[in-house]
Chains A and B, each alone.
Chain A
Amino acid sequence: DGGITQSPKYLFRKEGQNVTLSCEQNLNHDAMYWYRQDPGQGLRLIYYSQIVNDFQKGDIAEGYSVSREKKESFPLTVTSAQKNPTAFYLCASSARLGLAGRGSGFRRPYEQYFGPGTRLTVT
C-alpha cells in the first residue's frame, strides 16, 4: 500500500537537544511538507520541498532545518533554537502542480496526503 510513514509516534527530549523526525513516502510524489499543529491554530507550514535537493522556508521555519536528498524522504530537525518545540508534527506529500495548474498525471494534484504525525514533548 502507498502512503506516508512518520516515526516515532511519540518523542521526548530534554531542552537544548536537537531531534530529528523521520518522514518517508512511497507515493512517487514530488512535493513534501512539514507542518506543526497546535491547539486552536490549525496547521502551520514549517518547510516544503518541490523537488529533490531543493526546499523552501514556510511560515514558521525558525529553529527548524530539513534536507531532501531522496524523493522519498524529508526529515525534519528541531533544533535547540526553536523556542517552543512541544507540538504535533505532521508530514505530507502531494503531486507537483505544473505552471498551468495541472498535475503530473495524478487525479487530484492539489490533495495532500498526511502521515500519522509525531508528538514531540520537550521538557
Chain B
Amino acid sequence: QKEVEQDPGPLSVPEGAIVSLNCTYSNSAFQYFMWYRQYSRKGPELLMYTYSSGNKEDGRFTAQVDKSSKYISLFIRDSQPSDSATYLCAMIVGTGGFKTIFGAGTRLFVKA
C-alpha cells in the first residue's frame, strides 16, 4: 500500500463547475499537507498548504484536512480553463523532517 493514494483521473468538468480533488494517506505522523499544481511540461508549484487539521481558503481554492479519516481535499470553485493541470497532494511528517511524500497527481481538464 502506498503512503499516499490519489486517483490519477483524468477528471473533465465544464467551466464554472465545482471541482473536488482528494487524497488518502496511511501515516498518522503527517502534519503538513499541501497541494501542488503542475502545468504540462512544467515543474510543480505550491498552491495551498495546511498545517494539521482544518480548512484553509484562498480565493477560489479551499483545502480541507481530516486527520481522523486520513483524508485531504482540494475544492476549486467556479473552475476555469486555466485551472486545467495536474494537481498533486503532498505531505510531510514535520518536526525534524523535510521529506515530502507526493501523490500520483490527478489530471484535471476544464472545458470552456
Interface residue count on the A side (C-beta < 8 Å): 29
A111 touches B46 (CB 8 A): yes
Interface assignment of A34: CB less than 8 Å from any CB of chain B: no
Collect the chain A residues with CB atoms within 8 Å of residue B44's CB: 43, 90, 112, 114
Indicate with 1 or 0, residue by residue over A109-123, a CB within 8 angstroms of chain B CB atoms. Answer: 111101111010000
Chain B, range 7-24, C-beta contacts under 8 Å to A:
8
Q: Which of B31, B45, B104 has the most CB of A within 10 A?
A: B104
Q: Which residue of A lies closest to B46 (CB)?
A: A111
Q: Which residue of B lies closest to A44 (CB)?
A: B102
Q: Which residue of B lies closest to A102 (CB)?
A: B95
Please report the C-alpha to C-alpha distance between residue A35 and residue B96 in the assembled complex, in whole angstroms. 21
A97-B96 contact in complex given A41-B104, A42-B105, C-beta closer than 8 Å: yes
A117-B41 contact in complex given A40-B8, A110-B34, C-beta closer than 8 Å: yes
Collect the chain B residues with CB atoms within 8 Å of residue A31's CB: 98
Interface assignment of A13: CB less than 8 Å from any CB of chain B: no
From residue A39, how far is it (CB to closest CB) to chain B in Å?
8
A110-B105 contact in complex given A43-B88, A117-B42, A117-B43, C-beta closer than 8 Å: no
Closest 9 CB pairs of A and B: A114-B43, A101-B95, A42-B104, A43-B102, A42-B102, A97-B98, A110-B32, A111-B46, A101-B94
Collect the chain B residues with CB atoms within 8 Å of residue A111's CB: 34, 46, 49
Collect the chain B residues with CB atoms within 8 Å of residue A92's CB: 43
B98 touches A50 (CB 8 A): yes
Q: Which residue of B lies closest to A108 (CB)?
A: B49
Can you list 18 A-B contacts with CB-CB less than 8 angstroms, sorted by A residue number? A43-B102, A48-B99, A50-B98, A90-B44, A94-B98, A99-B95, A100-B95, A101-B96, A108-B46, A110-B32, A110-B100, A111-B49, A112-B44, A114-B43, A115-B43, A116-B43, A117-B43, A119-B41
